[in-house]
Amino acid sequence: MQHDLPASGTQVLRGLELFSGLPEVALAEILADAQIYELDKDTVVFRQGECAEHCYALITGRVRISQSDEEGEQLLVRFISAGEMFGTVALFTGGNYPAEGTTTLKSVIARWPEASLLRLIERHPRIALNILKVTGARLREMQERLREVATQRAHRRIARVLLRLHAQAGQSTGSGEISFPLTRQDIAAMCGTTLHTASRVLTDWEKRGLLTTHRSHVVLRRLKDIQSIADEPGI
């Protein structure tokens, strides 16, 4: 499982939001504790309910975080892009992962045992601040999504989800391309609706030229119009 470290391992760490702003010395220390490994597409990183013993960061690839209830209803919490941390919600609470992490592409992952991270924070409090910053931003996002699901129509939420994904992973190819496989099932699970509703809305928009989809590939063609759907209070 242990992977050959790249020639300059600390260079890789520098790109992680988890360790931004840390001196080279600290990075070397962090690297020494890191477990770095590669996973194939569609592999489980951690399971919901499993005891949370690690903190993760994604070096390359993509990870899908989703939560299910007893009846199998699923919420897609978020997609993790390269450089982002994940699996940190249950950190320091001695609890279990509240969601599942799965790769959707071949991915390289780094992880640290909780105890190890704790020691690193003791020596470099900046790490804790970095985690706080990310966790705060995510908490804020969740509050917004919760409000949206509670008060807004399905098509408006779908528009917002698409824009959010585009902002997160538009890959700034200039175009409105969303750079990773995204099924309609995924879109539905992200905004709290059914595959059927998502499908109806998307085919409608495709007819109107707002976007194009092919298999699991989505391209937003008229960002302005989609934005206005996301903003319009009406109906």
Partner DNA sequence: CGCAGTGTTGACTGGCGTCAAGCTAGGTGG
Partner DNA sequence: CCACCTAGCTTGACGCCAGTCAACACTGCG
The first and second tokens of residue 187, run together, are 């879109």
Given the rule CB under 7 A, which of 4-12, 102-110, 159-167, 191-199 is the region that contacts DNA?
A: 191-199
Site residues (CB under 8 A) for a second copy? Answer: 67, 69-71, 73, 75, 77, 88-93, 95, 98-99, 118, 121-122, 125, 128-129, 131-133, 135-140, 142-147, 149-152, 191-193, 233
- Three-state DSSP class for 32? helix
Selection from a second copy, DNA, none that 35 binds (CB < 5 to 8 A by kind) is none
Instruction: Build a one-symbol-per-residue string for 55-84: x at contacts with DNA by CB under 7 A, - elsewhere.
Output: ------------------------------
Which residue do the tokens 């698409």 mark? 162
Separation between Cα atoms, residue 185 and residue 64, nearest integer Å: 13
- Three-state DSSP class for 124? coil
The first and second tokens of residue 214, run together, are 């092919």
Selection from DNA, a second copy, none that 71 binds (CB < 5 to 8 A by kind) is a second copy
| Cβ at position 217, least distance to DNA in Å | 8
Selection from DNA, a second copy, none that 227 binds (CB < 5 to 8 A by kind) is none
8-state DSSP, 6: P
Residues 118-177 that bind DNA (CB under 7 A): 153-155
Of 95 and 209, nearer to DNA (C-beta) is: 209
Q: Which residues of 29-65 are buried (b: 16+ CB within 10 A; e: fewer)?
A: bbbeebebebbeeeeebbebeeebbbbbbbbebbbbb
